[in-house]
Amino acid sequence: MHVGYLDEFGHNGLYVSRGDKAYKTHPVFGLGGFIIPADNVRQLSRAFRYIKESGLKAEIEAKVLAHGKKIEHWEKKGAALLTTQNIEKYIEVRRIIGRLLNKLEELDAKVVFYGQQKPRGGPDIVSESNAERYDHAMKQLILRVQRDLPADENFMLILDKQGDRERLEVFAGAASFMFSHKDASRLLEPPMEVESHLYQTVQCADWLCALIGRIAAYKFDPDFQDFNWAPKYFGERLSQVTSKSSKIRALEGGKDLFPRQLGSPVTCYDPSGVPASRASLDSLRSRFS
């Protein structure tokens, strides 16, 4: 049996551009994480905690131990860890992610993800709801996990608890889907939620999704060129431990993103479908000023 630990990457809300006042979330939404043989879960949990606590020792001493908090309940969110400033300033952050990817490979785990580039616009333009977008991503991920497992292997999926009503609807949809679709027949139970601060494995999925989200932002929107470090430092290694069925689907005119392209600086967006980036506008101003 295998167990999958999942989280969201990107953002499920409406999107216009990074600089828009109301809809500036993320150009992509998806679900990702990793799938691992059940016999190796305990080893990964122990290894992730060691990687986190040894790599972030100074922060833990200052923010956790100094305030008398329990170290075993402390988590570092991937979005806070994988910032451009941290990557450029602290080489240890890059080493932490490298050690994590190596450990996943050592324990026969596979990174998995499915996402979509979102249509741009507010509620007057985009008809797809957040729940519909989430439901589609969940079902696609279930199909891809089963596709990549050995034919005799069943699996379960675990996510960080969020409490959103739309999530409950999606989980109910997954319960129906697992009994109605032949390619979801080896999912033993509908996806379940747990408190992330108690599960090192769920925190690991959060870190992976933060990385996938950074790569996706760079790939699908010219306004996120500052995330070019994500494919540069991590993309090739990430591709080596990612399931072949993983994918981010582009809008019409763009290019889908597959695992083998995670380390490439080549982008996926359709230039005619996105606003000019701030860098492009600044370049034009400098040429004609």
Domain locations in the chain as residue ranges: 2-288
Q: Please answer whether residues 207 and 236 qualify as being in contact, where contact means their C-beta atoms are separated by less than 8 angstroms.
A: no
Cα–Cα dist 213/159, whole Å? 17
Using pLDDT thresholds of 50, 70 and 90, give the confidence band for residue 167. confident
Instruction: Provide the pLDDT confidence category of residue 66 given band limits of 50, 70 and 90.
Output: confident
**Mean pLDDT to the nearest integer, 92-115:** 98
Statement: residue 49 has pLDDT above 80 = yes
Would you state the pLDDT for residue 171? 82
Helices (H), 115-257: 130-148, 165-180, 200-220, 229-230, 236-240
Res. 128: pLDDT tops 60 = yes
b/e 162-183 (16+ beta carbons within 10 angstroms → b): eeeebbeebbebbeebbeeeee
pLDDT at 76 (0 to 100): 95
Residue 82: phi, psi to the nearest 5?
A: -95, 65
276 exposure class (CB count in 10 Å sphere: 0-12, 13-18, 19+):
middle
